[in-house]
Amino acid sequence: MQERMTGALLEIPYRDPVAAFAPFRDQPHALLLHGAGAHPAARWSLLAPLPASPLVVDGPVAASDVLAQLRARLRPAPASPAIADALHAAGVPFVGGLAGFFAYEFGGLIEATAPQRRPVGLPLAALARHDVVAAFDHAARRAWIAAPDAAAARRLAALLGDGAWRPSRPAGATLTPQEPDGWYGAQVDAVRTAIRRGDVFQANVSRRCAGRLSPDDHPFDLFARLAAASPAPFQAYLRLPDAAIVSNSPERHVAIRRGPDGALHAETSPIKGTRPRGASETDDARLIAELLASEKEKAENLMIVDLMRNDLARVCSAGSVRVPVLFGVETFANVHHLVSTVRGRLREGCDAFDLLAAVFPAGSITGAPKLMAQSLIDSLESAARGASYGGIGWFGDEGGMDLNVTIRTAACVRDAEGWQVEFRVGGGITIDSAPDAETEETVAKARSLVAAITGEQP
């Protein structure tokens, strides 16, 4: 163990981080950020199971007040600079700070003219302080605990699961689409009508599925099944007192890293454009080529890239916003996506919370122009989005942050009979969208969640 007056760094045996986290699955505000798959961002899994000073936002309050309270929970410097430096040198992204969740409707606090719904069974935001963090490096197959002192590091090491834990198998779960047959196609037509009127260029409309987990099932078991069957780089499990959020997200919303120049650099990676996976490598190659050749899909992606460039420009230095990757293809368990990358250098005096206020919610799950798209979505969707299309991630003491977009995400709310479960799937609708094709895309996006909840094969 490496020890300092103000901190400790303990290397522990590498194991499955999902199994290691299992003993904390019912600890309120415990958070697992799990990377899986071949994506570069999937290298790390971060366990933050010992929360302190939670902040839960339930009712109407000024976003500036919430962000001020979050800033106050960060430290001006890491508790142990030497240990933080050692972990950052090894590539560990988060070594202490705040971590948690923002519902889609948190955007209504940031922008007063945005829709003002409230999620059911979930807060608008829930974050906590995390000073004891376990980091698992899948590339090197090594793991460490960073803590304020040696005793805290050893205490967490003794509490982590040993890797033998396995999830339950669902039996008796129920899951039902919450809108009638043909509903989604009708919403596609409604968005196209709004585009013709000049109201929006694009809007991301979603459909809702809801039901109950099996009587002997648990949200963390659901998370583990998803993690095994559908690897994604930005998976997350967050336990709240009477709820849990299970995210199988492939999409980063926004991240901040400190560059060699000492400045904070922001990056966002909007996903827009989808094709299902094929039955063979040949099918996959054909579908990827089709995706890259689709003017409709590229136009959809480019609209969101332009929106994100404008959002970043609100807090980045003039001329620093760039698009180093346009129309990249990333392949996941069930789909291929077009993914672009937008980067910028934060202006002096701006921090991660200023960036959050500038970009939340993500343009990829609203549309363009953002506020008009949000208003249109609110008129078409029958209930609050809640955990769907919000964000889960962390804010580091050193100024960094990383936040996913909670697509492919289920909200589990506990009641007297067990666990209710709900999720949404959707897509960006443009003037060239075809109702049947867009409906089928939502089916492809839902397959992994349906299979993990019900046990049915995707």
Q: Which residues are catalytic?
A: 251, 272
Residues 105 and 119: their CA atoms lie apart, in Å, by 7
Answer whether 8's CB lies under 8 Å from 150's CB: yes
